[in-house]
Amino acid sequence: MAYEITLLTTMSIAVLFALSLNFITGFCGQISLGHAAFMGVGAYTAAIMIKTGVSLLFAIPVAALLAGLLGLLVGFASLRVRHDFLAITTMGVVFLFVGVVRQQDFLGGEIGISGIAQSPLGRTGFLMLCMALAALFAGFSLIVKRSWLGFAFDSIADNEDVARVLGIDVAKYKLFAFVVGTSAAGVAGALYAQHFRFVGPDSFGFVESVSVLAMVVVGGIGSVWGVMLAAAVLSILPLLIQFVDDYKILVYSALLFSMMRFSPDGLAGIVNRSLNRLKGRSP
């Protein structure tokens, strides 16, 4: 039973992490190749606080706040760059984060921070917390997607210039998307630190950024349930299949290429098209 709880906890954290990127990339069309850095900020924040005796429940909002502040800074950079240039900018953030962490002794340097205390909630209680936070953000994402805010995001993702002509404050909405998405990533990072009881620079590098982007693309960019499904499956594949774990960047990159080439709308699009065909055949 302990193994199943570990898998479900890992899946719940991955779902929250993927949904946080989907809020930025899927909803607002802002490409991020450095999203793991924001998860890392949350993870290191929680790790340090828990090591000093602070409760996880208090560490989570602090992790979200610090990750959101970094997201705000990156969001300001996103106001001046678009598309490929934005991707390169965010990629630089994750390399900068890893480089800084490696050089700071109080962050554990190359070794990282280990020996993080177990959650007082117990395995089952911590799983419930992870699932609740993932479900809460999923519900929030659905509400946003179906609100006027979601329509504003769609306009920005389609064409920023047209959105401005329509009277949409593009800068404000892009900053909002970055802050919310990166704050949620910080929460996922805090849960990660508590779950694995270790954080290190290699845990939040470029490979992890590609991995979470693969979850969003495979699930269907902008689709909440599709991203949740892809995150749940892809997060446990490395734990179940050794080949995936050994060649993670290769497998995930291949998935990215395949989905963008053959089904740009991901699993959500495949399922929707299949359901439409079935409805068309039904009498």
Q: How far apart are CA 194 and CA 117, in angstroms?
A: 8
Sheet strands (E) in the chain: 113-114, 198-199
Q: How far apart are CA 67 and CA 44, in angstroms?
A: 10
Q: Which residue has the tokens 């060649």?
A: 247
Q: Which of 190, 207, 210, 209 is closest to 199 using CA atoms?
A: 190
The top-level CATH class assigned to 2-281 is mainly alpha
Any idea what DSSP says for residue 110? T
Coil, helix or strand for 199?
Answer: strand
Contact 73, 128 (CB under 8 A): no
- pLDDT for 236 equals 83
- pLDDT digit string (tens) for the chain, length 283 residues: 788 899 999 999 999 999 999 999 989 888 888 899 999 999 999 999 999 989 999 999 999 999 999 999 888 877 776 666 777 888 888 899 999 999 888 888 888 898 898 888 888 999 999 999 999 999 999 999 999 898 999 998 888 888 888 888 888 999 999 999 999 999 999 999 999 999 998 889 888 888 899 899 999 899 999 999 999 988 888 776 766 666 777 887 788 788 777 777 888 878 877 777 776 655 5
Q: How far apart are CA 14 and CA 212, in angstroms?
A: 8
Q: Give the helix/strand (H/E) hosting 40.
A: helix 36-51
Residue 260 neighbours by CB under 8 Å, 6+ apart: 217
- pLDDT for 130 equals 96
Sketch the domain layout of the chain as residue ranges: 2-281
Q: How far apart are CA 278 and CA 272, in angstroms?
A: 10
Q: How far apart are CA 271 and CA 274, in angstroms?
A: 5
Q: How far apart are CA 195 and CA 182, in angstroms?
A: 20
Q: How far apart are CA 226 and CA 158, in angstroms?
A: 20
Contact 15, 161 (CB under 8 A): no
